Chains A and B, each alone.
Chain A
Amino acid sequence: GAVVSQHPSRVICKSGTSVKIECRSLDFQATTMFWYRQFPKQSLMLMATSNEGSKATYEQGVEKDKFLINHASLTLSTLTVTSAHPEDSSFYICSAQDSGPAQPQHFGDGTRLSIL
């Protein structure tokens, strides 16, 4: 089955640091990837849609300058949390959808970000 790899799985860093998270589709090409945020014991909230070769589409309320998304190839999207603060601590999950009719999104393993 389709595999999405996300790295790193866990990050602990000081306030003010910028953190980059990578999302790779390992065995398929993904023109579109998605970035979600999940707070403890809550649901997933879509942050942005990452489009290969073009700008990401952000959901309402998500700061573009805080969460930088780059989708430089058909297999890699990156999310950079810039100048992270404790309130940015969360579980970030990426997903990608294989081509073909109504395929499910395949999710990465998630990145647990803790800002001290």
Chain B
Amino acid sequence: ELKVEQNPLFLSMQEGKNYTIYCNYSTTSDRLYWYRQDPGKSLESLFVLLSNGAVKQEGRLMASLDTKARLSTLHITAAVHDLSATYFCAVDMFQGAQKLVFGQGTRLTINP
């Protein structure tokens, strides 16, 4: 069965702190995506990771991919309140067929 599992599912943290969200998946894939969703809104694309060892950074967020371990991480540096949202990883399980399997989502709350 194809599975994408995120950890943790809920995360409450203070501004200024660092933290990492983990995304494990169960089968071979070299395409992984990170999305952000605000309450009541749709998904915003954050990162596209296409190969083993890929690392991408945008502002306080950095994403990496280890295809051998079937693991991606989303690291938050010096969190600010504006980053509060639900973050989803999604894996293209079918080698470019564009069918995405989503993780459960990590609800991130950043407190002042």
Contacts and interface: CB of A to CB of B under 8 A. Distances in A.
Answer yes or no: do A and B interact.
Answer: yes
Interface of A: 6, 32, 34, 41-46, 49, 93, 95, 97, 101-110, 112
A102 B47 CA distance: 11
Contact of B42 (A42, A102, A107): A107
A32 B103 contact: no
Nearest to B104: A43
A109 B42 contact: yes
Interface in B66-110: 88, 90, 96, 98-105, 107
Interface residues of B, number: 23
Interface in B8-50: 31, 33, 35, 40-45, 48, 50
11 contacts: A6-B42, A34-B99, A43-B102, A43-B104, A43-B105, A95-B43, A102-B50, A103-B48, A106-B45, A109-B41, A109-B42
A46 B100 contact: yes
Contacts of A34: 98-100
Contacts, number: 52
A102 B48 contact: yes
B68 to A, nearest CB: 19
A44 B104 CA distance: 8
B43 A107 contact: yes
A42 B42 CA distance: 13
B83 to A, nearest CB: 19
A42 B102 CA distance: 10
Contacts of A43: 88, 102-105
A105 B100 contact: yes
Given A102-B50, A107-B44, A110-B42, 19 more contacts: A6-B42, A41-B107, A42-B105, A43-B88, A43-B102, A44-B43, A44-B88, A44-B90, A44-B102, A46-B99, A46-B101, A49-B99, A93-B42, A95-B43, A104-B33, A107-B42, A108-B42, A110-B41, A112-B40
